[in-house]
A and B are shown apart, each in its own frame.
Chain A
């Protein structure tokens, strides 16, 4: 699986957009980009995923660069409940790609 690089921590003011970057320069053509978050002492929660195109759901938007070597997770209007560790992961889909490795992620703190 491609390795990802994320900043260790970030702050964002409540109500503003939180933009979390992720570098995955060794990503291969069939690998998806996934984002999860983990609120303290809970299980990780799936946020969004994408392959090539930008994606949006009720939680967030995912912007993937044209060369796919980096991506940005956008929380459009951050609230205090968005304080969590955010994990960016890349891996292939389909059979034989069951292993999923989580790094240390980005600790996002929303400031009142």
Chain B
């Protein structure tokens, strides 16, 4: 099976712009979670989607949003970009929402905000 794929892999934006990142889960996986990784804050949970519904949201401002499509692909959007949004954005997929399931991560999208 192909792993989790994320596009684009690298992105450069300027402050105030918006950005959309895409994540395709492993085939058959219906749960997708997003994480932000920065040198200062480490890895932080953004949100989780299952069956096109957001199940859980981390402590991020409303500028961060996401959605999931019927084929389980997910997108996250960041509006009004700030310098501090520069980070590696990782998505992870798992078959369902059971707590004991392993979450498989993609290679990430590295976002640089200038």
**Real complex partners, A and B?**
no
B binding-site residues for A, Cβ under 8 Å: none
Please report A residues at the B interface, Cβ cutoff 8 Å. Answer: none
